[in-house]
Structure 1
Amino acid sequence: MNTEDESFERLAAADPAADAEPRPGVLRAKVDALAGTPAQVPSSGTDELAGRRERRRAPWLVAAGVAGAVALGGGGYLLGAAGAEGGAPTASDEAASEVLPPITLGGARDGAESGGDSAASEAMEGQAATEDSAGASSSADISLPGWHDGRAVFSGSGLSDEPGTAAAYAYDAREVATEAGAARLAEALGVAGEPRWEWGSWQVGPRDGDGPSIWLSADGTAYFSYNDPAADPWRCAEEPVDAQEREDAEGGADVIEPAPCAQPDRPEVSPQEATDQVRDLMEQVGVDPSGFAFDVPDDGGSEGARWVSATQVVDGQATGATWSATVSDDGIAWLDGFLAATAPLGDYPVVSPAEAVERLGDPRFGGSSWPVAYAQETERMLEESVEEDGGEPTPPPAPPSSGGDLPWPVSEVTITEARLGLTQHHDAGGAVLLLPAYELSDAAGNTWSVLAVAEEALDTTSS
């Protein structure tokens, strides 16, 4: 058995970003940047600090670890933008807790673009697997709503029927996602070397990871990544291995395992100091930090570094575009961000909340019978549906009686609240837009979403 392949498959299967599709060049650039450095493999899809603690890894693990980092990127790769252009509103350093969340189109079973709660999504997937297995109980046993099977009829209650207008935006990376832009970025960050085009991105710095390096993607958001190994609190030097011992190992003797790196101490850098460092760096690369809301987790300093995130805010709402940084006592060790300007496209007609409800379930407008977020009670039911039963074996389900009505549950959902916000849209050419969208909720707290732009302002011709 090839234990490396088996371990790789287990790691890949656990990757929460398995359905995301980052550009191959960007992924390759990240692999090249990490291949010469100590281990960076995340132990979970969302714990960047834990990933960077795992310092020892075989080269075959690099690709799997990078796939998660690139796809998630602190909320970054498929999202992103930097400063405002042409008068786009800024966040004025709003606290993250005061910013309205971004809106995502499509339901929680719609794959990479889902905005649904991850725990609930996992429960839904677990429920599907349970229903497919022998002896599984029917979802009807816990009275799951009809939209659990993808069928629902929507109506509104107490919603306005007045249409309106709302602003739309686009990210413009044409001035920054270039060779000259990579050179300016490297100079601002103190990275030595000339830009080179490799695997679909501009890169500056050593390939072996022995010094600071950047790579800049030529995409619609000018996404970039920066790494300074000197500031990495989990980096440690390899102990030399005796030549005879290595030869014995390669000849079939016991494999030599390097000594583990020492656990870094709790950093002395405070959350505010870490935030200030990220703000200063954003200004160095030409991004206005006032357009972002900053956050540092309370436990971010318990394991060697502070984890700082900066969420872009437009019109008082998070866009889903973020910067993220790992800050140690020696400075910024890792940074992911975006350089594209946020350009206003003007005001567009939007449908009323009442008409938005009618769009749910219509794929032309990003509607879906599946919620993008679940009420707590719904999450509880979904979790209960996949819990292992430690009691008596369950009998197989009984078929319907002959001549009886066939089961085909359809939920009747009443939408009681509507919020107009922004959603990210990636067009066929790679451009990234921020478009008006509605977040629609029922009385229980389940939430759906749909595009708000009126049909007359949409080009619906197929390419």
Structure 2
Amino acid sequence: MVEHDDEPLNRLRASDPATGSHPDLHTLRRRIAQKAPASQADTATALRDEMFAGPAIRAPWVAAAAVLALGFGAGGYAVGAQQGPSGGTLAAGQTDEPSTGSDDGDGGGDGESPALQGLERSVVGHDSASATMMADEPSAESGMGYAGGDGQAWDPGPVRLVAGPGLPTDHPTGEVRALMSDEDPQAFLAAWAERLPFDGLRPKDGAAEDWFGGDVLYDPDGSRILSAGVDGAGGALNFSYSDLLADPYCADMYSQMPEAEMDQMRKEFTDAFGDDVALPDASQCKDTSGPAPSADEAIAQAKEFLATTGLDVSAYELRVPDYQDGTVNQVMVEGWPEDSAPNGQLNVTVTVGPQGVTNAYGMVGEMRSLGDYALISATEAVERYGQREFGMEYGITLDEDVEPGLTDATTMPVEPSVQMPDPSPVEPGMKIPMLLKEKVVTGAELTRGTIWPNTGGPLEVPAWKLTTEDGMHYAVLALADESIDWQSWGD
């Protein structure tokens, strides 16, 4: 078990994780995790940005602030989780004990609660593998439904899959779907600003797309930002609101940023908004003292604020999750439409402090079919798993592996109870010892998963779930070669 100092890790936790940001952070976390070897499964890194939060706010001052790891900006990145059969996620930062988080709903967070929560990873041995738990299903009382806990299996080294007898050899077809929206970002932003109300400036031509990834309004009097953008051409629309100076780490950002970087930020800010619009300074950071709102109060304020976007908030299930920054007096509220997948792309996140909403983020869209596509057989999927572009670069996250569990608790991966070979003594002329486990695939199921191709957002695609004799499963993209357009770069 790796021990962490809770205080700095708490500051890295998301008051507004902006899940579904540009790009979708759930998918981004998966993609980053898929680049990590299994030998790193006991480590985790998280950068959660709070100030200047928003899905597409990528201004230079945001990037500079983010590297300070103080909790500003527009994203979260983590490595270190692994899937179990109940849809659980195994992530770094929690003990093996069941969650003992408070149930009193005060939303303030517990300083002893896990630092890294709800971060997906599909890495087991080869990077697109997911582990099946070799233990009884967790009970509601165990508090381990989401995390996995003792008995969570994972591969301690690389795996080579071998097709067993009886695997399907037929070539079916399967539907591909994408989250899409007909919303026009500029029209959406104008209507939202009118409802708030919000009177703001637009950046000069070219600055909005380069810095913010979409249409933007900036309120120079209150240092607030509204933004809206579309992922790719015709993708989902994302929106965000940030009260820049109401962040509890506002003063820290100014005091800990090198002066040269601050000067660069000031220049680029005026280049975007005009010489008469200066970058806010530390003296303008707002007083955020006061008691944190209760969970019920935070949810009520979140609903009221989200209604200004035009969303039918009554169709959303909002909650205050266990993972909160216990060092500040703000409460993060998250939610999804009741008829959509929890932890999916159609999410909303609102951060509420003593003075009201400080950050908000959400996505608008619907899943639409792109048609039926030719697929490979299960036998071919076993062979494909060994190809780098499919086994590592384009790993699949199965829908079942990101379903929510009973609790937000997370845990460190459990060391598998397998006999590992002893390190070989080094001798002249020796063959170089390298770990490799050959596993026989005994079952295959055509299911659905998520992939991030060269599009504006992730796609829901057919995937083969390959089960091995030890009960673990490995996901492989099922699209046939003729269904894929490989695109090079630098030509």
TM-score of the two chains, using structure 1 as the length reference: 0.52
Match of 2:256 in 1: none
**Alignment CA distance shift 1:306-1:315 (3 Å):** closer
**Alignment CA distance shift 1:65-1:301 (3 Å):** closer
Aligned length: 331
**Alignment CA distance shift 1:60-1:215 (3 Å):** closer
Shift of 1:330: 3.7
- 1:343 and 2:368 equivalent? yes
- 1:459 and 2:467 equivalent? no
Match of 2:67 among 41, 64, 69: 64
Amino acid at match of 2:299: T
Amino acid at match of 1:226: Y
- 1:215 and 2:216 equivalent? no
Q: Distance in 2 between matches of 1:315 and 1:158?
A: 36
| Contact map agreement 2:164 2:440 (CA 8 A) in 1 | yes
Q: Please give the secondary structure, in 2, of the residue aligned with 1:380.
A: coil
Q: CA RMSD in A?
A: 5.6
| Contact map agreement 1:231 1:333 (CA 8 A) in 2 | yes
| Contact map agreement 2:49 2:76 (CA 8 A) in 1 | no
Rg bigger for which structure? 1
Q: Please give the secondary structure, in 2, of the residue aligned with 1:336.
A: strand
- 1:362 and 2:365 equivalent? no
Identical positions, percent: 22
Match of 2:175 in 1: 167
- 1:205 and 2:200 equivalent? no
**Alignment CA distance shift 1:202-1:47 (3 Å):** closer
Q: Distance in 2 between matches of 1:414 and 1:368?
A: 23
Shift of 1:326: 0.9
Match of 2:439 in 1: 413
Q: Please give the secondary structure, in 1, of the residue aligned with 2:371.
A: strand
Deviations 1:296-344 (A, max 9, x none): 2236485422212235788757545643221234432111222355433
| Contact map agreement 1:438 1:450 (CA 8 A) in 2 | yes
After the TM superposition, which residues 62-461 of structure 1 pair with which residues of structure 2 at under 5 Å, given as runs?
Answer: 62-65=65-68, 69-72=73-76, 148=157, 150=158, 152-155=160-163, 164-172=172-180, 175-177=183-185, 179-196=186-203, 197=205, 198-200=207-209, 201-207=214-220, 210-217=222-229, 219-220=231-232, 221-228=236-243, 264-270=289-295, 272-288=296-312, 294-298=318-322, 300=324, 303-311=328-336, 316=341, 318-320=343-345, 322-351=347-376, 353-365=378-390, 379-380=414-415, 398-400=425-427, 402=429, 405-415=431-441, 418=445, 420-427=447-454, 430=456, 432-442=458-468, 446-460=472-486
Q: Distance in 1 between matches of 2:439 and 2:175?
A: 29
Shift of 1:190: 2.7
Q: Distance in 1 between matches of 2:464 and 2:180?
A: 24
Q: Distance in 2 between matches of 1:442 and 1:333?
A: 48
Amino acid at match of 1:170: A
Q: Distance in 2 between matches of 1:50 and 1:181?
A: 23
Q: Distance in 2 between matches of 1:233 and 1:365?
A: 43
**Alignment CA distance shift 1:406-1:304 (3 Å):** closer
For structure 1, the residue ranges without an aligned partner over 5 or more in a row are 1-10, 24-43, 53-57, 76-100, 118-143, 238-256, 386-395
Deviations 1:334-376 (A, max 9, x none): 1122235543323445445554333212245455799989xx9
Deviations 1:78-103 (A, max 9, x none): xxxxxxxxxxxxxxxxxxxxxxx999
**Alignment CA distance shift 1:168-1:442 (3 Å):** same
Q: Write 1 or 2 for the structure with the bigger share of helix.
A: 1
Q: Distance in 2 between matches of 1:156 and 1:103?
A: 29
For structure 2, the residue ranges without an aligned partner over 5 or more in a row are 1-8, 24-44, 54-60, 80-117, 132-152, 253-281, 402-410
